[in-house]
Amino acid sequence: MSGLSVRTIQRIERGRTPSVESLKAIASVFEVDFTNLREPEMETTAVTADANGVNADEALALRRVRKIRSFYMHLVQYCAVIIFLTVVNLLTNPHYLWVIWPAVGWGVAVLMHGVRAFDKVPFLNGEWEKRQVEKYLGRKL
């Protein structure tokens, strides 16, 4: 009902500090004031830094860059393995190109990883999540 993912709820239940948007979504579901859910050390308006000196905006940017880096690593692994399999295929059975099957299957997975890493799917990106939270809250964030 909150529009939060199950994973986000599990992280909150395990004691990780939720974002302000997550707390607002939960507060709206339980029909309680947002300030009742905040821990005393959480600030309302200031962007705070974590133990490593990274504020919330920087942490979000780092997470996005890590997603993109993960995609590039996946792409490099794909290329290396498919090149290796192509060489093996051509040396062992050049009349039947079986390497096409793993190349296509894994290629689709790499493509989907890239689409998600670069936020090209409208219903999987951060803007969609923000709109859904605003819809449930009935106001802009």
Beta-carbon contacts of 99 under 8 Å, excluding residues fewer than 6 positions away, are 82, 85, 86, 88, 89
CA distance 19 to 69: 24
Please determine, for residue 60, whether its predicted confidence score (pLDDT) is greater than 80: no
Residues 22-57: pLDDT tens digits? 777 777 777 777 666 666 555 444 445 555 666 777
How large a percentage of the chain has pLDDT more than 90? 35
Instruction: Classify burial at 4, counting beta carbons within 10 Å of its beta carbon; exposed 0-12, middle 13-18, buried 19 or more.
Output: buried
Structural domain spans, the chain: 1-46, 56-141
| Residue 84: predicted pLDDT | 98
CA dihedral of residues 68, 55, 52, 19 (deg, nearest 10): -80
Whether the pTM exceeds 0.75: the reply is no
| Residue 76: predicted pLDDT | 97
Please determine, for residue 78, whether its predicted confidence score (pLDDT) is greater than 90: yes
| Residue 129: predicted pLDDT | 76
CB contact at 8 A, 7 and 140: no
Please list, residue by residue across 16-40, b when 16 or more beta carbons sit within 10 angstroms of its beta carbon and e when fewer do: eebeebbbbbbbbeeeeeeeebeee
Residues 94-111: pLDDT tens digits? 999 999 999 999 999 999
